[in-house]
Amino acid sequence: MRVGILTGGGDCPGLNAVIRAIVRKGETVHEDELIGFLDAWDGVREGRFMPLDVGSLRGMLPRGGTLLGTRRGSPYDHEGGPEAVVESFAQLGLDALVVIGGNGSLSVACNLHEDFGLPIIGVPKTIDNDVVGTDITFGFNTAVQIATDAIDRLHTTAESHDRVMVVEVMGRHSGWIATHAGIAGGATAILIPERPFDIEDVCELLHQRHERGRYASIVVVAEGAEPRIGTMRARDKVYDQFGHVRLGGVAETIAHAIEDRTGFETRMVLLGHIQRGGTPTAFDRVLSTRYGVAAIDAVHAGAWGQMVAMHGDDVVTVPLKETVGKTRGVDMSLYHDVAEVFFG
Ligand code: F6P
């Protein structure tokens, strides 16, 4: 078969490992011809691609980013865009397309499959871990490790200066990274989008901690966390060219609010794209490899319109239709029954 691969949305550690696994099993077991589209859907619309073979993927397993390049945006944003994708399929003699992406790219994949019957398989990617239908996305584990390493380092400088450190991690709609890194890093409070926060409660936790003789604290905040209505002024929203709210910076507002209310010296750290860069953890390399192998097997099973997913320790496929348009929020029992026990 002639199989295309694309990577869409924000990059994520493990993308190259998925591509490598698809190509390895596709070429050596299924005798496929593989091509990689450049710059996500733009490459499909414009017929820009590169041939992929086992040799061309040598050394890519531990490399972060994506050798194919990635973009946000959808062919549906362009006049005649979806038709251009269909045309590319025909012109290139494509038998299948594997779309490695998060909620945005997977929803485009689902629409193209539904609207035109295109033979597409999805692979769930995002450091945010917010794709419905799978227990985990690759990249998440790496992001949590990076955030935890940063928190570990912040403890010693915070303790030396008796400071509060507000650490902002990614997590647009869900607080998975914040919750896991906060638990792993021993946070005094964890603020997540799923649960609007009251700044007075956060300050109360800090006071309680100081009363016990601990004068340094770490507050972990997901970039999408918002104050409970009426408790604190939220920042004005700024949008990018795709209409997404451009996040990043809530930690600064929170750090000022904490310092003003408590008088405790407070600093903020924004981890930003550091969480998406660099080499994937061993866990993510294994997960990405399993996803890649499962994706090319799904192609040969003709499981069109499905996404590979983890259910427990099993790789399964689930209909894309059941996953798109939704966000998988943090398991609130993990937040309430585990994370909160250590607040304050
Ligand atoms: O990929 C998801 C994500 O990491 C979000 O957590 C974050 O809000 C967004 O990407 C940032 O994207 P960009 O690369 O467009 O700044």
Residue 328: per-residue pLDDT: 97
The residue contributing the CA closest to ligand 1 atom 10 is 10
Residue 245: per-residue pLDDT: 76
Closest CA to 116 of 92, 97, 132: 97
Do 2-139+280-322 and 140-276 agree at the fold level? yes
pTM of the model: 0.95
The CATH number that domain 140-276 falls under is 3.40.50.460
The structure tokens listed for 325 are 């348009």
Compute, in angstroms, the gap from residue 260 CA to the centroid of ligand 1. 30
Q: Is the pLDDT of residue 190 over 80?
A: yes
Tell me if 110 sits within 8 A of 293, measured CB to CB. no
Residues with beta carbon inside 6 Å of ligand 1? 9-10, 102, 126-128, 170-172, 223, 247, 276
d(Cα 111, Cα 145) in Å, to the nearest integer? 34
d(Cα 84, Cα 47) in Å, to the nearest integer? 9
For residue 248, give the ligand 1 atom closest to its CA: 8
Compute, in angstroms, the gap from residue 178 CA to the centroid of ligand 1. 14
Compute, in angstroms, the gap from residue 249 CA to the centroid of ligand 1. 13
Tell me if 181 sits within 8 A of 129, measured CB to CB. no
Condensed to tens digits (0 to 9), the pLDDT of residues 202-232 reads 999 999 999 998 899 999 999 999 999 888 8
Catalytic residue among 128, 130, 284, 297: 128
For residue 126, give the ligand 1 atom closest to its CA: 1
Of the residues 11, 12, 66, 128, which should be mutated to test ligand 1's pocket, given the most ligand atoms within 8 Å of the CB?
128
Whether 128 is catalytic is yes
Residue 152: per-residue pLDDT: 98
Tell me if 100 sits within 8 A of 19, measured CB to CB. yes
H or E segment and range at residue 161: helix 140-161
Does domain 2-139+280-322 fall into CATH 3.40.50.450?
Answer: yes
d(Cα 24, Cα 50) in Å, to the nearest integer? 16
The mean per-residue pLDDT over the stretch 267-294 comes to 98
Identify residue 205 by its one-letter amino acid code. L
Compute, in angstroms, the gap from residue 243 CA to the centroid of ligand 1. 13
In the chain, what are the domain boundaries?
A: 2-139+280-322, 140-276
Residue 12 to residues 63, 137, 144, 340, Cα–Cα distance (Å): 10, 10, 12, 29
CA dihedral 94, 100, 101, 107 (to 10 degrees): 40
